[in-house]
Each structure stands twice: as C-alpha cells, then as structure tokens.
Amino acid sequence: MLVLASASPRRREILARFIREFRVVPSRADENCDLNDPKAFVLEIARRKAKEVFSRTGGTVVGADTVVSADRKILGKPKDEKEAYEMLKRLSGRAHLVTTGYCIIHEGKELCGAVTTQVKFRELSDGEILAYIKTGEPMDKAGAYGIQGKGALFVEWIRGDFYNVIGFPIEIVIKLKELGFEVL
C-alpha cells in the first residue's frame, strides 16, 4: 500500500488525480533544519518525513517538502502577516525558484530527488499585497502564496512543472509508476 507522509491537502489532491489507492499518514518528523541551500534543505526534510512515517507503517512511503527561494534565501511559511508582506514584496516584479524535495521509500530503499521550477511575479502594488494577505491564503504556504488559488494573479510566467509549485511534482508520480503503482 502506498502511504503519503503529509498533512497537506494539496499534495493529497494531486496524488489522488493520478493514483487511485493510497492512504495519508501525516509525518511527525522534526522540520527544523539549519541548511541554507534550498535543494539540500527540502531533500533533508522530505527524507525525515518519509523515514518517520515508514517506521510506523512500512510499505511504500512518499515524503515531500517545498520551499520558495529568492537570491538563495529560503522563504518558508510566513509566521505572521508582516512576514507574509515582506516575502511578497521581495518576490514582486522578479523571478524566484520553487523547489520540492521528495523521498520515496520502497522495499526499504530510498529513492530521492528534487524538482525546481522558476516563477516570475509581475510588479505588485502594496494594496494588492495587503488585500491578498487579508484573504488568509498566504499564511500556510511557502513563499506566502498559492499558485493554485488567488496567488495565481501575481504570476507573469512559470518555467517548469506547475504541480511542483503547488508542492507535488509530476516526477514523483512517474517514479511511482516505474515502481509498479497503477497510474490513472
């Protein structure tokens, strides 16, 4: 049985689009990490999540973690509205990277990787940023925006996997198919 080591409704929704049967077991892994490199950071957290859930469930487990970065500075989930404003102001009018690390534990072996997508925001006014923050949408998302929601209005273009920007790249689904899971 496939197990998704995540409490994210977005990851669950994307996986359900492609794979019929799996169960969700949120990870209890420590997500504090002092790595500054976005790719190394997400790989470490994804591995921790997968290993923690695998220790409880066995089977095949998928863990993932996503960060937004600008100038190699990691922008996680904002802790308050002030930080959300600062993040969105930093992303305004410029390109940034969204990186998702994943770890699949299958038959006791780890298959890990990372996917990076480039996203460019149009220039945002203070009024637009403040109105968006009032929706509450940015508060539980890396980089303080959700491309699958109202945050899509800020995006000028993307280069790469759209699903990666949401937090679950298609590369994971392809890897699961290669491992023998039935993909719809």
Beta bridge partners of 120: 95, 157
Distances (CA, A) of 90 to 1, 31, 44, 67, 94: 42, 24, 26, 15, 8
Give CA–CA dist 94/51, Å, rounded: 36
81 and 137 Cβ atoms separated by less than 8 Å: no
Give CA–CA dist 34/161, Å, rounded: 27
Catalytic residue among 30, 34, 37, 65: 65
Task: Verify whether residue 126 is a known catalytic residue.
Answer: no
Give CA–CA dist 60/46, Å, rounded: 14
C-alpha torsion sign, points 46, 52, 55, 60: negative
Catalytic positions: 65
